[in-house]
Amino acid sequence: MRLVLEAEQEDLRAAVRRLLADRSSPAAVREVMASERGDDPGLWKSLADLGLLGLVVPEDLGGAGGGHVERSVVLEELGRALTPTPFLASAVLATDALLAVDDAAARAELLPALAGGERVATVAVAEGGAAWDRSGGATTATERDGGWRLDGTKAPVPAGAVADVVLVYASTSDGPGWFAVDAGADGFTRTALTTLDPTRPMARLTFAGTPARRLAASDPAAALDLVADLAAVALAAEQVGVMARALELTVDYAKVRVQFGRPIGSYQAVKHGLADVYSAWEHSVSVLRYAAWTADHDRAELPLAAALAQTYVGPACFDAAVAMVQYHGGIGYTWEHDAHLFYKRAKSAQLLLGPPSSHRARLADRLGV
Amino acid sequence: MTVVEEKGSGEYRSRVREWLAANVPPPTAGLPPADYLRVAKEYQAALFAAGFAGITWPKEVGGQGLGPAEQQVFAEEAAELDLPTYPLLIGMGMCGPTLVDLGTPEQKQRYLPPLLRGDEVWCQLFSEPGAGSDVASLQTRAERTDDGWVLNGQKVWTTNAQWADYGAVLARTDPDQVKHAGITMFILDMHAPGVTVRPLRDMSGKSPFNEVYLDDVHLPADAVIGEVGRGWQAAVTMLGHERVSIGASRPSRSSALGFEAVLALARREGATADPAQRERLAELYAHERALELLNARMRQETQAGHPPGARGSVAKLAAAVQLRRAIAVAGELAGADVVAWDPEDGHGADLARGINSAPASSIAGGTNEVQHNIIGERILGLPKEPQVDRDVPFRQLRVGTQGGAR
């Protein structure tokens, strides 16, 4: 098991950090999050040009043929910068779903377009706040008029309002299935939702007899499990980046903010709290490297590692963001300061795949408790 | 599952593995102290004979002249074994490496070979009743005589002093200097007249450490380690070796507060179907596993030439905090079963021992509070607290709980 990045992976990190310093500065993030679309198509093209959208896509399908460790490095950087981007929806969830099912035609048609940034896709599984339902939930797919039709509602769906293609996990009369829906399909409506995290737009998708293409999948629920596990790892990468930046900014502030004649970082109450955040970050990086390594090299261990990643990193990231707001004091509570964006991203990420207890329960299951 | 892939040094690793397989002494649990000490010395002698003693020490003092990679291979191979290393730990892990760094040629020739062969046991005498986290406020004093020094004072928490032949002692040699400047490190003959060792019983009922009283103990002039007045620098050197020594060790999997043991407790209590208990177990595992992975990652970084340095404090602190977490979970599972148990019930005794030993991890080798300061100041670069004692001659300082100037 390798827990330390290779030199090329560090180079990748440096390249992404440079790009985001240039294109996704705090001011740019504010501008994008206030825009109607909620992401930056120019940046999306740059990510595609650098080959970052297809990192886990095989080379013959237009990807880089790289791995999850590389993708996690990119996600760390996107998390650090709080970049509003459909990366998680398209380059993670939808890409992983297409690779997890057994539909070579759909892969050949969609993956090159996703990796190239020409199309944005997402995955629609959640129906409310609970953890993903392996049954397919209340959204149903029925075969009629010579094709499959979807009925029901999926929410919250990341990048649901901008996606060109939606991969829907729905119930059929003989178990769950995966379906691809074009954004222009009849009976398909989407409503932008108000979000806790203003840097991650989400939508409600409604299907009313919407024509859909069924994706061949020998075991749709197993594919869902894989998508969920890889999402847990990807999200942990974002969270590690969020933590790192929240800690850096807070340490910088604690060195210069003077109260009672001393920098506040010299007080043990503050210093020890920041030491705890640092410790949690070091642990989180270690868990992330392990989880990403299993995604590349040990799929049998991935389910355990993924549950571990969200059990450990999810709360640790929010703690770091809480500390950021707290140690900034009043200024940290203002809209003007970025601390609230870290706070909202951290809480939203922690809950995106279901309540924290669902990750702990899954971890217990996978440990054989 | 293995935590670290076995990379490099393949031939060395197999030699270590073969030798350990053939030479692990029988279990030492329950042996009388004198017998345990004998087994430990014999094991060290066997290590020396096989060429595995002092792996990173120079050849001219009897070491093997190899690097940290080989040291780590040995530590990894030995990690799962119950080896009788405890009596020699301070000498091999701290005093010996410090003599390698700072000793005179005569000191190295006199003391290092017997240490490597397991002939002589060492201890380290730093802490005092008035000098715990603030070791530099120590009051034990060494005063010059015609042929050396005379040592007076009291040391405490001295691990292995009951067995030790020699000790590395810190003493104040110039109270008119500021506190860090007037200290010197000496080699102390633990059998010399005026050295009294009294075992201290800890809260778990064991006596792993001692009080050492020093009354007019004569030190020869050549007992100084490093330079007179530079004892603090020598102490920092030794504490650096201690951190490496602690960092290389791994928590025993047999602890009643390890995840596997707590899970076994949950099974005995029939609690594994309770969703709340399952979540607690999962969280306990997550923190234990995260720490294992952090340690594994730091070992990989060490092998790649980047030793963790002050980041070792993160692992030490986390290990101590994890014990508190495990006590909480075990308590939820055991309830009153750990309040009282039948005398023959080993599970109850094991868990009680775990609960009662846990505070040691939060205090020994630098308290949790000191580790927090190390992380905050040395890693994050946060400013120190104002130091009221920094520029004041030691003679004018308040020390420990003893108040006033002295």
Residue A258 structure tokens:
């003077």
CB B325 within 8 A of CB B284: yes
Q: Average pLDDT in the A120-141 region?
A: 95
Query: Cis omega (within 30 of 0) on the bond before B220?
Result: no
CATH of residue B211's domain is 2.40.110.10
Closest Cβ opposite residue A4 in set B287, B301, B371:
B301
Indicate whether B154 and B92 sit together in one domain: no
* Separation between Cα atoms, residue B326 and residue B199, nearest integer Å: 30
Co-location of B85 and B183 in the same domain: no
- Minimal CA–CA distance to A137: which of A158, A159, A168, A163? A168
Residue B281 with chain A: CB contacts under 8 Å: 364, 367, 369
Residues of B in contact with A311 (CB under 8 A): 282-283, 286
Does B1 sit within 8 Å of A255, measured CB to CB? Answer: no
Q: Which of A262, A270, A290 faces B293 most closely, judged by CB atoms?
A: A290
Name the average pLDDT for chain A: 97
**How many Å lie between the alpha carbon of B267 and the closest alpha carbon of chain A?**
9
pLDDT at position B1 is 35
Specify whether B147 is located in the same domain as B113: no
Q: How far is B285 from chain A (nearest CA, A)?
A: 9
pLDDT band at B303 (very low <50, low <70, confident <90, very high): confident
Please check whether residues B138 and B97 belong to one and the same domain: no
Annotation says B242 is catalytic: yes
Tell me the pLDDT band of B9, cut-offs 50, 70 and 90.
low
Considering the entire predicted model, what is its pTM?
0.92
Asked if the domains A122-219 and A221-367 are classified in one and the same CATH topology, the answer is no
Beta strand ranges found along chain A (DSSP E): 121-124, 140-144, 147-158, 165-172, 175-182, 188-192, 202-215, 258-259, 262-263
Contacts of A270 in chain B (CB under 8 A): 382
pLDDT at A25 over 90: yes
- Just give the CATH number of A7-119: 1.10.540.10
Counting one residue from A and one from B, how many pairs have CB atoms under 8 Å apart? 135
Domain-located, residue B246: no
Q: What is the pLDDT of residue B3?
A: 40
The whole-angstrom separation of Cα A312 and Cα A334 is 29
Where a domain ends, among B106, B121, B136? B121
The answer to whether residues B14 and B111 belong to one domain is yes
Q: Which of residues 135-174 of A touch B (CB under 8 A)?
A: none
Q: Which residue of B has its CA nearest to A3?
A: B297
**Under a CB-based contact definition with an 8 Å cutoff, are residues A203 and A195 in contact?**
no
Domain match, B32 and B135 both: no
B239: in domain: no
Residues of chain B with pLDDT > 70: what percent?
Answer: 93
Enter the DSSP assignment of B1.
Answer: -
Residues of B in contact with A289 (CB under 8 A): 293, 297
Give the per-residue pLDDT at B405.
44
Residue B400 counted as domain residue: no
Cross-chain Cβ contact A361/B279 below 8 Å: yes
d(CA B402, CA B130): 7
The strand pair at A202-215 and B122-125 is best described as unpaired
Give yes or no: residues B256 and B337 share one domain. yes
ipTM score assigned to the predicted complex: 0.96
Domain A221-367, second-level architecture: Up-down Bundle (1.20)
pLDDT at B68 over 60: yes
Q: Do A360 and B376 touch (CB under 8 A)?
A: no
pLDDT at B248 over 80: no
User: Least CA distance to B315: which residue of chain A?
Assistant: A279
For residue A276, list chain B residues with Cβ-Cβ distance below 8 A. Answer: 372
Q: What is the mean pLDDT of residues B81-96?
A: 92
Token output for B38:
């004998």
Residue B401 in tokens:
């709980």
Spell out which residues of chain B touch residue A272, defining contact as CB-CB under 8 Å.
369, 372-373, 376
In this structure, the answer to whether residues B88 and B176 fall within a common structural domain is: no
Note whether B67 and B57 are same-domain residues: yes
Question: Does B117 reside within a domain?
Answer: yes
C-beta atoms of B5 and A279 within 8 A: no
Mean pLDDT in residue range B54-65? 94
Q: Which one-letter amino acid corresponds to residue B98?
A: T
Q: What is the pLDDT of residue B244?
A: 66
Check whether B181 has a pLDDT greater than 90. Answer: yes
Confidence of residue B251 (pLDDT cuts 50, 70, 90): low
| Residues of chain B contacting residue A283, judged by C-beta atoms under 8 Å apart | 287, 290-291, 293-294, 314, 318
Say if B103 falls within a structural domain: yes
For residue A286, the chain B residues in CB contact (below 8 A) are: 290, 293-294, 296-297
The distance between the two most distant Cα atoms of chain B, rounded to a whole number of Å, is: 75
**What's residue B71's pLDDT?**
85
Give me the pLDDT at residue B250, please. 55
Over the stretch B102-154, which tens digit does the pLDDT of each residue have? 999 999 999 999 999 999 999 999 999 999 999 999 999 999 999 999 999 99
Question: B373 and A283 in contact by Cβ < 8 A?
Answer: no
Residue B404 has a pLDDT of 46
Q: To 5 degrees, how large is the angle CA B397–CA B399–CA B405?
A: 40
Give chain B's mean pLDDT.
91
Write the CATH number for B109.
1.10.540.10
Q: Of B121, B156, B176, which residue constitutes the final position of a domain?
A: B121
pLDDT at B402: 55
Full domain range(s) for residue B360: 251-366
pLDDT for A324 beyond 50 = yes
Find the residue in B nearest to A270 (Cα): B376
Among A31-45, A59-73, A286-300, B249-263, the range scoring the smallest mean pLDDT is: B249-263
Residue B342, token pair as written in the block: 């039948």
Give the tokens for residue B282.
Answer: 């999962």
Torsion angle, CA of B277/B283/B286/B288, rounded to 10 degrees?
-80
Residues B273 and B224 in one domain: no
Out of B97, B121, B145, pick the residue that ends a domain: B121
* Residue tagged active-site, from B128, B242, B260, B269: B242
Q: Is the pLDDT of residue B28 over 90?
A: no
Q: Give domain status of residue B56, yes or no.
A: yes
A312 vs B290: CB contact, 8 Å cut-off?
Answer: yes
- Kindly state whether A300 is in contact with chain B, defined as any CB-CB distance less than 8 angstroms: no
Residues B281, A367: C-beta atoms closer than 8 Å: yes
Residues B86 and B146 in one domain: no
Do B290 and A254 lie within an 8 Å CB cutoff?
no
The shortest C-alpha distance from A299 to chain B (Å) reads 14
Q: Examine the pLDDT at A53 and tell me if it is beyond 50.
A: yes
Q: How far does chain A reach from its first CA to its final CA, in angstroms?
A: 25
Q: Which residues of B touch A290 (CB under 8 A)?
A: 293
Q: Which of A267-276, A305-314, B249-258, B334-343 has the lowest mean pLDDT?
A: B249-258
Flag if A4 and B384 touch (Cβ within 8 Å): no
Output the pLDDT for position B406.
45
**B235 belongs to a structural domain:** no
Q: Chain A: give the shortest CA distance to residue B140, in Å.
A: 29
Asked whether residue B116 falls in the same domain as residue B23, the answer is yes
**Mean pLDDT, range B277-302, rounded to an integer:** 95
CA distance A251 to chain B (A): 7
CATH for A122-219, options being 2.40.110.10, 1.10.3720.10, 2.60.120.10, 2.60.320.10: 2.40.110.10
Give chain B's domain count: 3
* Predicted confidence band of residue B80 (pLDDT cuts 50, 70, 90): confident
Q: What is the pLDDT of residues B345-373, one digit of tens each?
A: 999 999 999 999 999 999 988 999 999 99
A286 touches chain B (CB under 8 A): yes
- pLDDT for res B42: 96
Closest CA to B116 of B58, B187, B203, B33: B58
Residue type, A164: D
Q: Which of A1, A268, A308 sits opposite B289 (nearest CB)?
A: A308
Q: In chain A, whose CA is at the least distance from the CA of B319? A: A279
B38's CB contacts (< 8 A; 6+ apart) are none
Question: Is B380 within 8 Å of A364 when comparing Cβ atoms?
Answer: no
**pLDDT value, residue B79:** 80
pLDDT at B4: 42
